[in-house]
Structure 1
Amino acid sequence: MVQARTFGRSSAELQQETARLAALDHLDILDTPRDESFERYVRLIKEIFTVDIAIVSFMDAHRQWYKACSGLGGDEVAREDTFCRYVVDSGEAIIVPDTTKDSRFSGHPAVTGPEQIRFYAGMPLKTPQGYVVGTLCAIDRRTRSFSARDAAILKELAELVMDRVELMESAATDSLTGALTRRGFKKEADQMISLALRHHHDLACIVLDIDHFKAVNDTHGHAAGDAVLNAVAAKCRTALRAGDLLGRLGGEEFAILLPHVDREGAMAVAEKLRAAVASEPVNGQHDPICVTASFGLSSLSIVVKDIETLLAQADAAMYQAKHDGRNRCIVWGSLQGDHITGARRRVLKAGSIIFNSRRSVVDCTVRSLGSDSAGLVVTNSVGLPSEFLLAIKGDGFETECRVIAQDTQNLEVAFR
């Protein structure tokens, strides 16, 4: 069930958080695929400091997301449940030799429960402008000291992590699958959309997400997961035309742009891809893995003229495909009729979902925003009502919403 709470910030804190999230959004690092360079950093931290756990993480409005993690399960945690929020809020390194003796952590379930965390060292990941977008952590299940030299080494490693983040901005191709990176895809898409608008030809967008991908990694390991990603990308390339764009937007999420294709044509392409993905298991140095994917579609229109809106609409349709049972294709316009088609812009803002006569508040991250709708991300959507108030306090914005599509962590809402 959803955990509701209240959370107040001063005007200055809201302004600082708004600017911090804008800096994080500029990096475009959240939910990007695994990267071996970051995996090396966490392995190095464990080796240098002889600790059980090492994490490279980034923090948006509602969660801490792990870009790389060794020694701990999961890939994200609610912001209010993480030690690292104190580093992000203060902007300074935090060293805790014994968590049982620190009032901030002594009652935390990670300390009192099965994980038995006893030592924490968190170093801020800072942009050149000084915004703290994440943390680099060394964590242990034993109490221990951490010298000034140790802290200096961890700080150097944090700066190296940010150097790597900057280098990623220039990468156009995903090293694993050969698809375009998210940044590279959007750059090429902008040019393709400009041509479509100038010459008045059709263009469609498909977003696909591999079903139950986390279970593949958990059951068969990351090598098998990589094989599945490669197989899906290869099947897409085989089925697509030379002029179509294929990009890897996230861990198991891909996007396709189809020039000179209308919505009906895009549905035919999506069904062809869906059948190809599900047609045969992925083989390798593991048991055969049966794979399916869920597809969402959107198309260029009089009011939809940019890649962010196309992706937001295709995402919403894809989430509905997941919700309806997976392994299917859904068009954006079929969700609630074609009247909800306002343009969206990509944002990264701190939001609050308010319900139960304003007695319950759940943190969310606003990922896309338009005049009539928005895309939200939460830690867990289970238990949230179908109608609620959405507040973006940094913008002084509050409106009534109804859910038009969702999965376990993503909500697409229309404003009332």
Structure 2
Amino acid sequence: MHRMLRESPPLAMEDVAEAERLEALNCFDVIDTPREEAFDRITRLIRNIFDVPVAIVSMIDGHRQWYKSYEGLENREVSRDETFCKYTLQDMTPLVVPDARDDIRFAQNPMVTAGPQVRFYAGVPLRTNKGHNIGTVCAIGFEPRAFTPRETAILCDLAALAMDELELRQLASVDPLTGALSRRAFKERAANAIALAQRHEHGLACIAFDLDHFKSINDGHGHATGDKVLAAVAAACRGQLRGTDIFGRLGGEEFALVLPHTDRAQMGGVAEKVREAIERVAVRNGETPVPVTSSFGMAALDARTADIEALLANADAALYEAKAAGRNRCVAWRSPNDAPGSPRRRVLKAGRILFNNRMSSIDCTVRTLGGDGAGLDVTSSIGVPGTFNLQIRSDAFDSCCRIASQTERHIEVEFC
């Protein structure tokens, strides 16, 4: 771990509990995965049973509430500071708010005073077998209302069904929309390929890519067209791959490849072929063509990057560099200043960005971490200064950082 630039205070119990909670959430590998019918069915049931306009199945990471399924909303996530569900997360029992304007915790919340003007809320935590609350199932209304014990019991049953689905989805091996491997199956296959590469000392590369401005495709052409684009992209990608290559869908529009018997010098050619094939994808919304491009990050197996998590973390960092450089391009991972350093690893940790002499702070979720730098998810990168301190209280970590690249909601940093 990179040396600390200042001494961190002793860990509070809540920091330890939050680190354990995020570790439990990370085990489900669900954050930023695509919508799934099993969870959409639960949110539809919530709306129909309780006659409410909004229903959510959500996960909560270090800085946001992210919706695995949602009905009656446009956004897919909201800042953790603004969500009612942060209180549900703290409790072992359901939380019912008949009228948010009469509750001191919520009366001044922007979700109440502006925006959708929430009045009623009922939420149940998603609790793992070991007692960690990783998210919530909730019903939301725009008018005050009572919620009976019977209705609360039904919502608890629906939350239990959501947890059952989270357990079951870990067994799925193929993404039904694209035919690519699921995230978990991809990682399992990749781990086997890496073990073989290490045993027989042959090259192996990892490529991460996602579609540029995919949200604009969904917003402008509809989710049905977005699904057609995803399926067409997957088909185009498979057309460029060998039978031994491993292809997975990691998130909504995020895919990854593991290429056995491929070294650093060769991986760029493969990535460029796939990028060009995706650019040729022809999807139409009626008579309107839908242009598709993608950004690529690449990383090669070496002595310091020895497992799939480290490879994906390095490929992710290069992918964000490709986005920051203008998108629709391929970028290879390199450690800062091309200096040798410890590899990145994928993590899920709560962090804080500290600036203005530590008087100002922004919550973030640390997604990759290494000896040279880190990858941070934020609600918005607007207003984040070029240099700041990153604090990860659960690791007693506090270091000066400078921004290497950034997109709207992600920042890659190098440690000073």
Question: Does the 8 Å CA contact 2:197/2:203 hold for their aligned counterparts?
Answer: yes
Residue of structure 2 equivalent to 1:293: 294
Aligned-pair CA distance for 1:92? 2.6
Change over 3 Å in CA distance of 1:379–1:165 after alignment to 2:
same
Distance in structure 1 (CA, Å) of the matches to 2:265 and 2:142: 56
Distance in structure 2 (CA, Å) of the matches to 1:136 and 1:162: 10
Aligned-pair CA distance for 1:193? 0.7
Please list the CA deviations of residues 57-90 of structure 1 after superposition, one character each: whole Å capped at 9, or x if unmatched: 0001110000001101110111011111011122
Question: Do residues 382 (structure 1) and 382 (structure 2) align?
Answer: yes
Question: Do residues 63 (structure 1) and 64 (structure 2) align?
Answer: yes
The amino acid that maps onto 2:144 is T
Residue of structure 1 equivalent to 2:4: none
The amino acid that maps onto 2:367 is R
Question: Could you say what secondary structure the match of 1:408 adopts?
Answer: coil
Aligned-pair CA distance for 1:284? 5.8
Question: Does the 8 Å CA contact 1:93/1:121 hold for their aligned counterparts?
Answer: yes
Distance in structure 1 (CA, Å) of the matches to 2:281 and 2:308: 32
Aligned-pair CA distance for 1:54? 0.3
Distance in structure 2 (CA, Å) of the matches to 1:208 and 1:164: 27
Question: Do residues 393 (structure 1) and 393 (structure 2) align?
Answer: yes
Judge which range, 359-368 or 283-292, deviates more.
Answer: 283-292
Residue of structure 2 equivalent to 1:346: 346
Residue of structure 2 equivalent to 1:212: 213
Distance in structure 1 (CA, Å) of the matches to 2:73 and 2:10: 31
Change over 3 Å in CA distance of 1:26–1:286 after alignment to 2:
farther
- 1:189-204 matched pairs, under 5 angstroms: 189-204=190-205
The amino acid that maps onto 2:262 is V
Distance in structure 1 (CA, Å) of the matches to 2:220 and 2:314: 32
Question: Does the 8 Å CA contact 1:296/1:316 hold for their aligned counterparts?
Answer: yes
Question: Does the 8 Å CA contact 1:340/1:372 hold for their aligned counterparts?
Answer: no
Aligned-pair CA distance for 1:301? 1.6
- 1:13-412 matched pairs, under 5 angstroms: 13-283=14-284, 287-333=288-334, 336-339=336-339, 341-412=341-412
Aligned-pair CA distance for 1:10? 7.2
Please list the CA deviations of residues 111-153 of structure 1 after superposition, one character each: whole Å capped at 9, or x if unmatched: 1214121111111110011111000010011111110000000
Question: Does the 8 Å CA contact 2:22/2:349 hold for their aligned counterparts?
Answer: yes
Distance in structure 1 (CA, Å) of the matches to 2:357 and 2:127: 39
Question: Could you say what secondary structure the match of 1:239 adopts?
Answer: coil
Judge which range, 278-287 or 215-224, deviates more.
Answer: 278-287
Distance in structure 2 (CA, Å) of the matches to 1:320 and 1:408: 12
Judge which range, 371-380 or 124-133, deviates more.
Answer: 371-380
Residue of structure 1 equivalent to 2:5: none
Change over 3 Å in CA distance of 1:50–1:256 after alignment to 2:
same
Question: Does the 8 Å CA contact 2:341/2:371 hold for their aligned counterparts?
Answer: no
The amino acid that maps onto 1:415 is F
Change over 3 Å in CA distance of 1:204–1:58 after alignment to 2:
same
Distance in structure 1 (CA, Å) of the matches to 2:225 and 2:49: 29
Judge which range, 50-59 or 398-407, deviates more.
Answer: 398-407
Question: Could you say what secondary structure the match of 2:338 adopts?
Answer: coil
State the percentage of identical aligned residues: 52
- Structure 2 length-normalised TM: 0.95
Distance in structure 2 (CA, Å) of the matches to 1:239 and 1:384: 40
Aligned-pair CA distance for 1:403? 2.1
Distance in structure 2 (CA, Å) of the matches to 1:373 and 1:249: 23
Question: Does the 8 Å CA contact 2:120/2:142 hold for their aligned counterparts?
Answer: yes
Please list the CA deviations of residues 300-340 of structure 1 after superposition, one character each: whole Å capped at 9, or x if unmatched: 1221111111111111111111111111111112x744215
Change over 3 Å in CA distance of 1:10–1:198 after alignment to 2:
closer
The amino acid that maps onto 2:198 is L
- Structure 1 unmatched runs, 5+: 1-7
Distance in structure 2 (CA, Å) of the matches to 1:357 and 1:100: 36
Question: Does the 8 Å CA contact 2:180/2:234 hold for their aligned counterparts?
Answer: yes
Q: What is the RMSD computed on CA atoms of the aligned residues?
A: 1.6
Please list the CA deviations of residues 157-202 of structure 1 after superposition, one character each: whole Å capped at 9, or x if unmatched: 0000000000011111111111111111111111111111111111
Question: Does the 8 Å CA contact 1:59/1:65 hold for their aligned counterparts?
Answer: yes
- Structure 2 unmatched runs, 5+: 1-8
The amino acid that maps onto 1:153 is I
Distance in structure 1 (CA, Å) of the matches to 2:250 and 2:405: 20
How many residue pairs were aligned?
Answer: 408
Question: Could you say what secondary structure the match of 2:193 adopts?
Answer: helix
Residue of structure 2 equivalent to 1:5: none
Question: Does the 8 Å CA contact 2:170/2:184 hold for their aligned counterparts?
Answer: yes
